Chains A and B, each alone.
Chain A
Amino acid sequence: MELLREILDPEFLLRNSVHVSLLIGFVVPLFGIFLVMRRMVFLGVALPHISASGIALALSMHVWFGDYDAMHGANERVLALVGAIAFAGAALVILAVLERRSQGGTEGRIGAAYVIATATSILLLAKCPQAERGWLSLLKGEIIAVMDEDLWLGGCSFAVLTTLLLLFRKELLLVSYDRALAVVLGKRVAAWDVLLFALIGLSISISVFIVGPLITFGFMLMPPMTARLFARSMRQLAILASLTGGAGALAGFCAAYHWDLPIGPTHIVVLAGVYLLAVCGRTAFGMFRGPVASAS
């Protein structure tokens, strides 16, 4: 309890890390629900890494202009954010075009995009050790030094993105669940898909820019998977996923701070532990309850 009070104290030295963890924990799972429901988990793995390669390109840009000793400053952070968004957006567009032009092989393309993005990032940063350290720290989910600007960027961006997601959830769920019905009812399915993937792409890009791909991917997928075990409706799924993510973020931060561990991996291990406990709890509950009466 003392630890919790210390962490939540407004004067706590790492308060920005706590706040950004909670922000990502509560909000990102709401977008991840659509990846889980549409069975696009692979995309949830690949997209953060592709977005991170946009950051790698921005951080290494000076090397390609022959300036090996450049200092990394505020302008470069803006460029990194643009890179993260541009790469995630471009990847979504290219994958969507390939999906429309050819049948099958989606997993292969996403897997290839993931491995190419990671390898390219490493190569891009090979000639700039300072940027490489920063990027590797982002990759590992080291979020000790979160700037005020990043926290504001995350807070404002996610407020807008989440509002749009909630406002249009009826249409976004309809085109995800039954595209044929959406067409019959006169909905512009392609436009709604573009909106959904723009929301997912932007949420991933901004999250990767602030906390890196590991934490983004973890919170995008694990809380919805955990919540799916207990939820009885889509509304419950959203609420449970968000609460699981938020609670996991707080517990993860407490554990990382108490045992002096890297924050990102601790978040993921805590989320994994919660998921395993949920699976065991669900199995035990099923055994106690006995077989469910089959529908007639």
Chain B
Amino acid sequence: MSDEAVIKLSDLAIGYDRRALASGLGFELKRGAFTGLLGSNGSGKTTLIKTLLGIIPPVAGSFVARSPGGGKLRIGHVPQRESLDPVYLFSAFEVAQMGLYGEFGPLRRLNADAKERVAKALDHVGAAELAPRRFSELSGGQMQRVLIARALVCDPELLVLDEPTAGIDADAAKAVGELLAGLHKKAGISILMVNHELHWMRQLATDLVWLRDGKAVQGGVDELLSPERIEQMLQLQMS
């Protein structure tokens, strides 16, 4: 694994119940890069993210996730917001502070400093005024901001986002896109983002990984999103 990589996959196969959705995956996520993960429905994008986060085990092969300092890589995860059940009565602040539960183990309550960090993270993403409101009553774009704040509160080296602009209106999606661009450029955080919309990939990503036919193709944005290459990829997917 080169010093320039935060995650390196080696002949990785991903899937459920020992059935591989994609196999032979071998690429690196470069440090400081904004990597877009593309692919059709069912191609294994979310499964790949879940595998890299340790939520499900690989079917075969392995991957290494390493902090630039040599320790465990700090990852901030922004899930699809539909995965969070609205029956829970958490405020936006309470959802955001969950990002610190890794630092505050059992029997430890969050102290004033920790709460200050949560408030700053919410402020950073422009969601400070949402803190006391019930999370499940926020709009899609507002929820997304709070979830990004939750991921940022633990000072991540890699931010992993699963379709952050899906199902939200154009203005809110634009705001989320600008927020992510700012985090990447100003804070220098490595980002891995799943997104169906090619225009977001064009605007935000510096590298792309395209999952198709159970394999991964890695390349630059201009290279993989050229009209000829898109046509070629889509034909391959349809055939």
> Per-residue 0/1 for B165-200: is the Cβ within 8 Å of any A Cβ (1 yes, 0 no)?
000000000000000000000000000000000000
> In the complex, which residues of chain B have a beta carbon less than 8 angstroms from the beta carbon of A296?
139
> Per-residue 0/1 for B90-121: is the Cβ within 8 Å of any A Cβ (1 yes, 0 no)?
11001000110110101101000000000000
The total of Cβ contacts below 8 Å across the A-B interface reads 80
> B89 within 8 Å of A by Cβ?
yes
Minimal Cβ-Cβ distance residue in A for B130: A295
> A156 within 8 Å of B by Cβ?
no
Which of B75-83, B202-210, B216-224, B229-237 contacts its partner?
Answer: B75-83
Give the total of A residues in contact with B, Cβ under 8 Å: 31
Quick one: which of A179, A185, A231, A237 contacts B101, CB cutoff 8 A? A185
**Is there an interface contact between A177 and B90, defined as CB atoms closer than 8 Å?**
yes
Most B C-beta atoms less than 10 A away, residue of A37, A174, A177, A187: A177
Nearest CB on A from B194, distance (A): 14
Q: Is the interface of B mostly helix, strand, loop or mixed?
A: loop
Q: How large is the interface on B (under 10, 10 to 19, 20 to 34, 35 or more residues)?
A: 20 to 34
> In the complex, which residues of chain A have a beta carbon less than 8 angstroms from the beta carbon of B1?
none
Within 8 A of B (CB), among A162-220: 167-168, 170-171, 173-174, 176-187
**Is there an interface contact between A236 and B89, defined as CB atoms closer than 8 Å?**
yes
**Is there an interface contact between B54 and A183, defined as CB atoms closer than 8 Å?**
yes
**Is there an interface contact between B88 and A234, defined as CB atoms closer than 8 Å?**
yes
Quick one: which of A37, A180, A182, A294 contacts B87, CB cutoff 8 A? A37
Minimal Cβ-Cβ distance residue in A for B75: A184
Minimal Cβ-Cβ distance residue in A for B142: A295
The 9 closest A-B pairs by CB, nearest first: A185-B102, A295-B139, A184-B77, A183-B55, A234-B89, A180-B55, A184-B53, A177-B88, A233-B89
**Interface of B with A (CB < 8 Å)?**
50, 53-55, 75, 77, 79, 83-85, 87-91, 94, 98-99, 101-102, 104, 106-107, 109, 134, 137-139, 142, 150, 154
Extra A-B contacts (15), CB below 8 Å, given A233-B91, A234-B94: A37-B87, A170-B106, A176-B88, A178-B84, A178-B98, A180-B50, A180-B55, A181-B77, A181-B99, A181-B150, A184-B53, A186-B102, A228-B89, A232-B134, A295-B137
